[in-house]
Structure 1
Amino acid sequence: MYTAAITGSGVFTPEHVITNDELVAAFNAHADLFNAENAEAIAAGQTQAKPHSSSDFIVAASGIERRYVLDKSGVLDPSRMYPALPERADDEPSLMAEMAADAALQALTQAGRAADDVDAVICAASNHERAYPAIAVEIQKMLDIQGFAFDMNVACSSATFGIQTAADMIRSGSIRSALVVCPEICSAHLEWRDRDCHFIFGDVATALLIERDENLQAPHFKIKSTRLATQFSNNIRNNNGFLRRTRDQMEDRRDMQFMQNGRKVFKEVLPLVSQHIAAHMDDEGVTADDLKRLWLHQANKTMNDYIGKKVLGRVPEGDEQPNILQDYANTSSAGSIIAFSKYSNDLKPGDHGLICSFGAGYSVGSVILEKAE
């Protein structure tokens, strides 16, 4: 039986930024267009008028101040309000593979490794660009990696499920290393025309290199333990499924894009996640005082603050529970990995940290790490 370790991480960040003020201006213009076009139906009580949004509302509801996206112009067009992502020919790289390859190369560079050192690629994400061939196999080809690759989807928990999958294969001895990549084009499944959720998501890609913990020379994080859980719920749902779509294909159906019952999600997910982490730590003999860092799924600041306080038994201090929501928004499976990548270098050998992601399903995954030299 072998042990596994995270030896490198990478984050691909799109060049386009949409601030809350920019998004609100576009959304409010869209709402005015909608209300004008449907004035008679609204007056007759057959249709509800669309209310305006505000930057203050967005920050209070989520803690988000801006987000990165692959396309800005389409999202901010009041008559469109969704990204303009041109279809690519079959002989061109997919958007997801392109993003993931960039993050993966960063992870390999940080670890001092090359493609020859990788045995497997796992593409773990919420919104896959196509059903097949697997995005992971395309990434494998782009990076000239031997071995095998496959896609997996456990919504926002995909990263931690991918980490356990890779770690389990390494522990068994079937592989020596794996890249777990999380390319998330969340802007394409978001309903930007809905005030209750139009601000939630952004685009990004992350990558982790996970290796057999054997003769490692550079600083790394030992994967001490992993734990996963799922519980079916319809409170977060996307009926459209795959990334590619047009408004005509959706027949303008609201139920085909991202939907959630926010109140029920808060009520049900918060205790589920807090109890999951507490039980995992207890079984592994890790106390709140042992934890130097919590890298949580970046869904909502209020949720993260609640979980951090429950896990530590007090309000987290400083960078104990870093949030990147204000800059990246919710990036689904990639969020906890962005936090890990940006807020882990300062930990000292022997320090413990915990990655946790949670979301639709419901699903929750936790990974206990120990910094090592």
Structure 2
Amino acid sequence: MTETRAVAIGCGHYLPQRVVENEEFTATLDTSDEWIRARTGIERRHFAADGELTSDLGIAAARAALKNAEIGGEEIDAVILATATPDATFPSTATQIQHAIGAGGFAFDIQAVCAGFMYALATADAMIRTGQARTVLVVGAETFSRILDWTDRRTCVLFGDGAGALILRGEPGGGGIEDRGVLGVKLRSDGAQRDLLYVDGGPSTTGDAGKLRMLGQEVFKHAVVKLADIAHQVMEAAEIGADDIDWMVPHQANLRIIARTALKTGLPMERVVVTVQDHGNTSAASIPLALSVAVGDGRVKRGDLLLMEGIGGGLAWGAALLRW
């Protein structure tokens, strides 16, 4: 039985020029390079320059993906941007990316924090399957450095800025797991866990952007259980096992979370894409950024089956299977 699959035809990423090593934090915080590495696996991260916007990062990643796909912006029917740090309350930052690359169709933002790319991917897949769009640009872009409390060593050392982009195009598939493209997506959320990870501001509360707040140990516990559970759900729905997965491309939040989740999912670390050491947690950008790095260095090859998963504030989480 033939069905439409959302097939990946290109990817790209962008990182701001400024690289911040762990040692930079020791001048103002009671911390050390050893402390940060031991608890998170992070060694450095990138911060956007003054005046460099989330849209700028997203545009650069989008252009890299277009170049990789060897198509022009006019072939894009829809732009979906996952971000928790938009340029403005409105208009959507996605429309700025759409305009910059010369795309037609429509564009909008999705906000599910670190799970945002999973939500955007699921939306793009549904739109392609139903014929709403044929070619969709999915972008994750963040400037988390703008919402960090620089006096809180528990959070400000964790995050970085960056963007990743993936282009999906509707193509016919046979309906089996051997098809290229998105083979399954599972999404979940739980508003009862809101206070574990949130920003203490917003248009209808304080009138300003606010700062990020997190209960790290609680987030860790929820992340490992929920990510492993939803990974098994998406694999079971596709009737595959961990042995069928070539690469896990996880949200790059914390090396310990990644390792524990891989163990519970049944995957060795040798088959897990890890970039957290160089980028920190780039929220909605982390999965497409890591994917682009792995495609660029040759780890991910055509035909490889990828398991992607992420969790963020909300709490919101999700997992997807994509055959490259």
**TM-score in terms of structure 1 length:** 0.79
| Post-superposition CA distance 1:315-352 (Å, at most 9, x none) | x243x112111110110011111221122444455431
Q: Could you say which residue in structure 1 is the equivalent of 2:45?
A: 67
| Post-superposition CA distance 1:63-93 (Å, at most 9, x none) | 111111113xxxxxxxxxxxxx34xxxxxxx
Distance in 2 of aligned mates of 1:123 and 1:334 = 10
Q: Could you say which residue in structure 2 is the equivalent of 1:36?
A: none
Distance in 2 of aligned mates of 1:210 and 1:338 = 16
Distance in 2 of aligned mates of 1:348 and 1:206 = 18
Quick check: which has more Rg, 1 or 2?
1
Shift of 1:363: 1.1
> How do 1:39-188 and structure 2 match up within 5 A?
52-71=30-49, 85-86=50-51, 95-188=53-146
Q: Which of 191, 213, 224 is matched with 2:171 structurally?
A: 213
Letter in 1 for 2:187: L
Distance in 2 of aligned mates of 1:235 and 1:175 = 36
Matched, 1:225 2:227: no
- With over 3 angstroms needed to count, the CA separation of the structure-2 counterparts of 1:214 and 1:110, relative to structure 1, is farther
Matched, 1:300 2:300: no
> How do 1:233-272 and structure 2 match up within 5 A?
233=193, 234-241=195-202, 256-272=210-226
| Post-superposition CA distance 1:2-38 (Å, at most 9, x none) | 211111111111110111112222x24xxxxxxxxxx
Letter in 2 for 1:12: Y
Letter in 1 for 2:198: R
Q: Which runs of 5+ in 2 are unaligned?
A: 174-178
Shift of 1:266: 1.6
| Aligned residue pairs, count | 311
Distance in 2 of aligned mates of 1:328 and 1:348 = 23
Shift of 1:146: 0.9
| Post-superposition CA distance 1:146-198 (Å, at most 9, x none) | 11111110111111110110110000011101111111001111112112222
Q: Could you say which residue in structure 1 is the equivalent of 2:311?
A: 358
Letter in 2 for 1:189: I
Distance in 2 of aligned mates of 1:23 and 1:241 = 27
Q: Could you say which residue in structure 2 is the equivalent of 1:9?
A: 11
Shift of 1:268: 2.0
RMSD: 2.1
User: Is the CA contact 2:165–2:289 (under 8 Å) kept in the aligned structure 1?
Assistant: no
User: Is the CA contact 1:127–1:241 (under 8 Å) kept in the aligned structure 2?
Assistant: no
Q: Could you say which residue in structure 1 is the equivalent of 2:152?
A: 194
Greater strand share, 1 or 2? 2
**TM-score in terms of structure 2 length:** 0.91
Shift of 1:221: 4.9
State the SS of the aligned residue for 2:277: helix
User: Is the CA contact 2:197–2:313 (under 8 Å) kept in the aligned structure 1?
Assistant: yes
Q: Which runs of 5+ in 1 are unaligned?
A: 29-51, 72-84, 87-93, 251-255
State the SS of the aligned residue for 1:157: helix
